[in-house]
Amino acid sequence: MTFYPPFIPQSDPPLPPWETLPTMYDLPSDNPEEPGLPDDFHFLQPLLLYLTFQPINWNPELVYSAADLNLYYTIQHPLWYKRPDWFGAVGVSKLYKGKDLRLSYVTWQEPANPFVIVELLSPGTEDEDLGIKTSSPNKPPSKWEVYERILRIPYYVVFSRYTNELQAFHLVGGHYEAMNLTDGRLLMPEIDLSLGLWQGSFRDIERLWLRWFTLSGELIPEPSEEVAAATERVILAQQEAREARQEAEQAKRKAEQLAERLRQLGVNPDDLG
């Protein structure tokens, strides 16, 4: 009689951790108001807005902007807040009462409410950002309700990096009305600026970005672009100076050659002066 060893089924080798552990898409923020934050885009896009928000007709010392900062909006409920992805205010000093960096933006203790707010759409916040979701009784109002009815923010802008759709609303008669683009930009004449989409590289990331322009459509440069432009101007000036020296030397050689030719013909070039 022949005996055979018992059959033992072969199990598959265990999967490596990176194939079984949750990915970044499975791990949202624990903040119920901002379930998609933070992420790279929510850092870089507000940074570009911050660096290029330079209202031409305002003293830079009275221009303030911030990203992901608690915005307290009603003294009746002092613990209620919203956290815009980015907002800009004018007539407000960079330091709180000229003395300290802000821990938050408390509207009843500031000289002005934000002038413009930008929200970056995430799948979990879209309904609230666009006013589709309304608040329940005795619960904090939605962002749309706060910006439109309580703070009366003149301009409210919403941008989706997933669809590259730009939507904006202007406060008219106490209610938001959709804005039309002018040459691809949102015009805000009160601050001599416009807001639009720009295809380019920011912090070495090439994509479509939301950034500030002048009213006429010229880019407001951020610091690294200003340095690059200044460097280019220096290089151009040096090149022009070299070309000018070369032209002067060439003209001098031609004059010397002409003088020598005149002497060979028996004419003293000094007598011609």
CATH number of the domain that residue 45 is part of:
3.90.1570
Residue range 101-116: mean pLDDT, rounded: 96
Structural domain contains residue 121:
yes
Length of the chain: 273
pLDDT the model gives residue 212: 98
Structural domain contains residue 103:
yes
Q: Are residues 142 and 29 in the same domain?
A: yes
The answer to whether 169 and 162 are in contact (CB under 8 A) is: no
How many structural domains is the chain composed of? 2
Structural domain contains residue 11:
no
The answer to whether 116 and 157 are in contact (CB under 8 A) is: yes
Q: 179-216 burial by CB neighbour count: b if 16+ within 10 A, else e?
A: beeeeebbbbeebebbbbebeeebeeeeeebbbbbeee
pLDDT the model gives residue 249: 79
Could you list the residue range(s) of the whole structural domain that residue 216 is in?
A: 17-220
Structural domain contains residue 2:
no
Residue range 246-253: mean pLDDT, rounded: 81
Q: Are residues 267 and 138 in the same domain?
A: no
Structural domain contains residue 5:
no
Q: What percent of the chain has pLDDT over 70?
A: 79
Distance CA 238, CA 49 (A): 33
Q: Are residues 233 and 216 in the same domain?
A: no
Q: Are residues 82 and 179 in the same domain?
A: yes
Residue where one domain finishes, among candidates 176, 199, 220: 220
Q: Are residues 213 and 233 in the same domain?
A: no
Structural domain contains residue 3:
no
Distance CA 72, CA 80 (A): 6
Give the pLDDT band of residue 29 (cuts 50, 70, 90): very low
Q: Are residues 47 and 164 in the same domain?
A: yes
- What 3-state DSSP class applies to 261? helix
pLDDT the model gives residue 251: 80
Structural domain contains residue 50:
yes
pLDDT > 50? residue 35: no
More confident residue, 229 or 144: 144
Highest mean pLDDT among 1-15, 168-182, 241-255: 168-182
Residue range 37-58: mean pLDDT, rounded: 91
Burial class from Cβ neighbours inside 10 Å (0-12, 13-18, 19+) for residue 161 reads middle
More confident residue, 98 or 64: 64
pLDDT the model gives residue 94: 95
Distance CA 158, CA 114 (A): 15
Q: Are residues 183 and 237 in the same domain?
A: no
